[in-house]
Structure 1
Amino acid sequence: SSPAARSKSMVMGEASRGSPSLQEGVLKAGWLKKQRSIMKNWQLRWFVLRADHLYFYKDEEETKPQGCISLKGSQVNELTANPEEPGRQLFEIVPAGEKDKAAMSHESFLLMANSQSDMDDWVKAIRRVIWAPFGGGIFGQRLEDTVQYERKFGPRLTPLLVEQCVDFIREQGLDEEGLFRMPGQANLVKELQEAFDCGDKPQFDSNTDVHTVASLLKLYLRELPEPVVPFFWLNLFCSPLLKLVYI
């Protein structure tokens, strides 16, 4: 089959047979288009995110990468879509200012995903890698990893984001109609998510919309790799055998 037909992205070790993504430590893998810096044309390449490097291969079956993008100290940005070129989901990786021998060059790397959701997944995965050393990248990160990092700064049982959202909702939202049902301000939810993912700890004030905070909390819980109630218990309590026992 053609590369386009096999463009399914793979996250957290889901891998197809024989590909480099079968190796340990792969955070995400999938097809992306990469713009060549001189010719400005596009090349379809198989990308593998491992540790703090993004490797790209000519094909999914290749074991030797064509190149590598160092993510340490880098920045990843979604680019505004051009109405004249629909369907082009573009994002860029801007390498650190300091020279890094692991990086191919010090120019931005322009990449194209095949859908908005695919681009969102890549940007989130790369952002987690970039900001994880600074306590960021918590959306989509395992709950225990976030708590373990934050325990460096004091005893914690839950992530700071969860604590902060719950405290604010208790203070400002218990009498609010439609709490956790009515959506918050989508642009502000995105801004807060990006701030927490970048290692910042934005504070809520009396002007903050409680529905926005509730939406942020729901988004965090929804993006956990494993739900707060682990899959084991969900499967156990939802099994037909237990349903028969309790009916």
Structure 2
Amino acid sequence: QAGNTDARSRAGNTVFKSGPLSISSKGLGWTSWKKRWFILTRTSLVFFRSDPSAVQQRGSEVNLTLGGIDLNNSGSVVVKADKKLLTVLFPDGRDGRAFTLKADTMEDLQDWKAALENALTQAPSASHVMGQNGIFRNDHAEAPAGVDEQKEETPTQSTVLGRPVLLALEDVDGAPSFLEKALRFVEDHGVKIEGILRQAADVDDVEHRIREYEQGRKDFSPTEDAHVIADCLKYFLRELPSSPVPASCCNALLEACRTDRGNRVNAMRE
């Protein structure tokens, strides 16, 4: 039963709730929604194409996380019951994050509201989360000089290239996003080019290509300058208010790498 998952754990974190919710590519007030499977812990809310515990995996196939967000205890939940909408807000101002989800039923709406509020009360302190990438600060290491000042000066946002952060990896209709298309281009056409991620392209060319993408030129052709597309990719990642892969998933991946080679895929599924 979705939601009855308190006894389960994910990467060492108790799962407060899991189940289907819908996300929108166009934000509150629009009707374009895509249903995805969400898993909520005290440190993150992540989503998959389908329930990772129910999908029959084949060989090395893994039901990868499509996106998500790191949580901290500054968050709050606002409900619009008439539309069955949940909006999670972070007023701390460091991550600039706010996102809206839609439940199927009123019962699901109230269950998710209670679970989110419970998770947020137990989430890490906002002061222990790095402002731009949502990764926990090492308590045993001093922050580099000027980090706090840079955090305050960095403008915050919840969209990148006009799209909600939760759709960094997949558009609402299931089509590849800007990030996936750019990564595929680099894999297919850029890996053999010297310094593909090290050498910078002309800034004007990069900004021009990004404007073209925003205006509807959504695909990258093989004849395009690989350095320009690689810099578009770096631009996109820099603009994200938090990492497209939550810190809890990064930690789980590191833990899986420390296990025996034959057990790594199973460790990532857990």
- Shared fold (TM-score greater than 0.5)? no
Rg (Cα) greater in structure? 1
Range class of TM-score, shorter chain: 0.3 to 0.5
Q: Which has the higher contact order (CA 8 A, sep 6+)?
A: 2
State TM-score, norm by structure 2. Answer: 0.36
